[in-house]
Amino acid sequence: MAVFTPLELGDISKWIDQDFNIGQATMLRGIHGGIENSNFFLDTTKDGQKQEFVLTIFERLTAAQLPYYLELMDHLANQGIPVPKPVQNNAGAILFTLKDKPAAIVSKLPGLSRLDPEAKHCALVGQMLAKMHLAGKDFSKTQPNLRSLAWWQSTVPQVLAHLNESQKTLITSELAAQESFFGSSEYAALPQGASHCDLFRDNVLFDPQGASDTSQDQLGGFFDFYFAGTDKWLFDLAVTVNDWCLAANKQDLDPLRFTALMDAYQAIRPLSTEEKSSWPMMIRAAALRFWISRLWDFYLPRDAQMLTPHDPSHFERILLSRRTTV
């Protein structure tokens, strides 16, 4: 999350009061971190009670693309999956316009992120990810993952000039391997459906049940669905594993975290034979996707308040590890 489009409380107070039934806006604060949209915490007061929301102004996604994400969140929330629920205005709409850009307001989930997760946290994430996949099976809308193979193919040429020779060899050889994998009959047979595609540690909240014993945490919810798409569930799982299950060296997989997450996921949705055999290539695909996007954000950045691009070399190291150890 970041702020590309500045917004102040005075810009929205009258709009909130007239168009919504969520009370009077009392606080608006830009959210630090992330790289895609302008995000703000929004507090309101209704009948003397404080309510908390997240307001997002979309910087890249179009009004035509956004119904998929917002309606997916609404569908999952209605299925009992802990995700932000879009707020309707008085006319029943969940997509609006602010500063001539698409915007939405969603409920704010309780809890906090665990950026150094224990196996317990990984298990909770794996279990809920499987439940989310199954809950999305009857979601009627489809939309491709906009950061999948076609995007990799168009973006790699834009970042090659910024890479040394060994990096160029790595990224082009891996892209070629993934092109072959994505074109295979084995890949075509993998089950798919609505997927988060960006379920990193900072997109999950836990509700602490004890003052200091983090093993008692309960899952608070998943958020930031704006990279979601109709994709192979195995890709969604691989993206999640690559961030949640890292060893102390921040590149290899930690056996305890990995086993906890995978066992919890498969207790809800066991992997098919095709998924098991495709796992080594898919976890490499997940690493490649984020190496490419971080290179793009780092070397071809946009101006934004509170924007801190991520280090691309992190996923370069993860990709190298996955190519040799998985």
Tens digit of each residue's pLDDT (9 = 90 or more) over 66-106:
999 999 999 999 999 999 999 999 999 999 999 999 999 99
User: Cα 4 to the chain's mean position, in Å?
Assistant: 19
Quote the pLDDT of residue 35.
63
| Domains of the chain, residue spans | 9-107, 119-325
* pTM attached to this predicted model: 0.93
The secondary structure of 131-154 as a DSSP string is HHHHHTTT-----B-TTSHHHHHH
Distances (CA, A) of 12 to 39, 57, 223, 309: 14, 12, 23, 29
pLDDT tens, residue by residue, 156-182 = 999 999 999 999 999 999 999 999 999
- Calpha distance 145→226 (Å, rounded): 10
Residue 222: pLDDT band by 50, 70, 90 thresholds?
very high
Instruction: Please name the CATH architecture into which domain 119-325 falls.
Output: Alpha-Beta Complex (3.90)
- Calpha distance 56→103 (Å, rounded): 5
Residue 215: pLDDT band by 50, 70, 90 thresholds?
confident
Note the CATH number of domain 9-107: 3.30.200.20
Quote the pLDDT of residue 34.
54
- Calpha distance 157→26 (Å, rounded): 47
Strands (E), 156-261: 192-195, 204-207, 218-222, 229-232
- Calpha distance 3→96 (Å, rounded): 18
- Calpha distance 167→155 (Å, rounded): 15
- Calpha distance 256→245 (Å, rounded): 8
Distances (CA, A) of 195 to 1, 73, 199: 19, 11, 9
- Calpha distance 196→194 (Å, rounded): 7
